[in-house]
Chains A and B, each alone.
Chain A
């Protein structure tokens, strides 16, 4: 069945460091891919998305490119800030699974000054 695997955390970085959080997926058909972020004490909110191969989603300095050949959707940011400390979830949704989302287990990021 459809699934998402993302890199385990926790990840700790210094401010202004480069961030990569790996995400790979398994899906039949052509899924849409998402990154969600969860700040402490809050629900999830959409960070970025891509709906077809080679699309690049971007928001708040974060980017991810939909790579069909490697079934990946890695999240990157060139220079992290303390305010980026949160849990990041990779997710997919595919037409053949109707309206269901499949989430990764989440990667906790802490950015230290």
Chain B
């Protein structure tokens, strides 16, 4: 079974702190994603990565950065946490596909971040 793990299930941080959210997948997937999930807004893409050291902005990258130094690990960084970044953060990785855009995504359990 594909396994996507996230470093914490629950995290509480203070405004202005630098926050690291880690995600690891064990299926050698090239594509990895970070989303945030908020009530009524569904999932919104923050950043994604096609391969090691590659990253692309999603729909809401402001206030976030990412790092992909190894294929299995994709980190989300909140440079200076703010209260409006309180949310559920979901990491996903994607199977290869015969043609672009067809493989399914596998999700981690999520990290519920609270910024005080």
A window 13-50: CB within 8 A of B: 31-32, 34, 36, 41-46, 49
Among A34, A98, A99, A103, which residue has its beta carbon within 8 angstroms of that of B43?
A: A103
Contacts of A46 on B, CB cut-off 8 Å?
104-106
Q: Which residues of A contact B104 (CB under 8 A)?
A: 34, 46, 49
B33-61 contact mask (Cβ, 8 Å, vs A): 1 or 0 = 10000001111010010100000001000
B108 CB contacts on chain A under 8 angstroms: 43
Known contacts A100-B48, A105-B42, A94 near B107 by CB under 8 Å: no
B69-101, CB under 8 A of A: which get 1 and which 0? 000000000000000000000101010000111
B4, B105, B107: residue with the most chain A Cβ atoms closer than 10 Å? B105
- When distances are taken between beta carbons in the complex, the residues of chain B under 8 Å from A105 are 40-42
Query: Count of A residues near B, CB < 8 Å?
Result: 26
B contact residues, total (Cβ < 8 Å): 26
The interface of chain B, by Cβ under 8 A from chain A, is 4, 31, 33, 40-43, 45, 48, 50, 58, 90, 92, 94, 99-110
Known: A99-B50, A103-B42. 15 other contacts (CB 8 A): A34-B104, A41-B109, A43-B110, A44-B105, A51-B102, A93-B101, A95-B101, A95-B102, A98-B101, A99-B31, A99-B48, A101-B105, A103-B43, A105-B42, A106-B42
CB neighbours of B105 from chain A (8 A): 44, 46, 101
